[in-house]
Structure 1
């Protein structure tokens, strides 16, 4: 089994970290193979940011995204740039707070998550990426809640762990709500 995932937004949203956390959850806690690649625009903050994660049961699998299964976007520019790459029947998860022109495709499954506004309610907008990871986990089951939680704890500094776990749990809740 193979799942191709693209996370995209702009620099400063924690897209790269989210990709690393997702890959770590699969590789270290699910005993699967994960390949993670990333690219950022020339600007450190505000430029395009993209992380791709391939999760596979085959260690010899091609390490780059071939055909997207899941697209998670946190900016209008990312949605505009990458929606065309999402095939029919696949999954789009987007931060509705950051998207002014929502997608109108009927051939894909669309889930909108108010990640940025919920991150502000938790006290720090920087955890919107972790909220989105929680929603992605709940909606897709690409990794377990337990695995993603362990990976978040691995990757964040101790003083931010409680905040990030609250954000992850909020993401699980929002993902469940988005599924209806």
Structure 2
């Protein structure tokens, strides 16, 4: 697997650090070299948060993401802070339920209703981080489904494994659909009825 750098951004309390840990564990169980780190504002809940994962078969010399291949933003503040500037090859995924002002500079831009789809399917936003994880992993096409599923199952908070596995499947399907639309030259914005 070629090295891929992932940057998951949002606000504290959205569960992106847990999603990054799950992504890292999926990479480890797939036999890859992995580095994972995170940072968040002093106000933890509600402040900007950032989680980074590097996965690949080559040695990782620096544990921080320098040139992200994938950037996920789940808040307007995170988009402003981390979504720009990106190189035009980077994949930028924004949650259009929460990020409404976007000026994409990447040609690989996906606007998906991640939080809204989670709320619609599960009655709350509690597993939106796992839906987002499914989207990112499916678009990367390098993270094996079974390893991702195992990581979610083992890391899901007690009593939430079944819902989180369904959330992972929902996100994986959203990512697959968005990738198909993008590859066919269509609009990269996925509506809820497509999710």
Kindly report which structure 2 residues correspond to 1:7-156, keeping only aligned pairs within 5 A, or say none.
Answer: 7-28=8-29, 30-105=30-105, 107-121=106-120, 122-156=122-156
Looking at structure 2, the residues matched to 48 and 142 of structure 1 have their Cα atoms a distance apart, in angstroms, of 28
SS of structure 1 residue aligned to 2:111: strand
Quick check: 1:5 aligned with 2:6?
Answer: yes
CA RMSD of aligned residues (A): 1.3
Deviation at 1:158, TM superposition (A): 4.1
Aligned to 2:161: 161
Query: How far, CA to CA, are the matches of 1:34 and 1:85 in structure 2?
Result: 25
Instruction: Tell me which residue corresponds to 2:170.
Output: 170
Instruction: With the length of structure 2 as denominator, give the TM-score of the two structures.
Output: 0.86
Stretches (4+) displaced over 4 A: none
Distance 2:70 2:103 in 1: 15
Aligned mates of 1:3, 1:174 — CA distance in 2: 20
Q: What is the CA distance between 1:5 and its match in structure 2? A: 1.0
Q: Matches of 1:56 and 1:87 in 2, distance apart?
A: 20
Number of paired residues?
A: 178
- Structure 1, unaligned runs of 5 or more: none
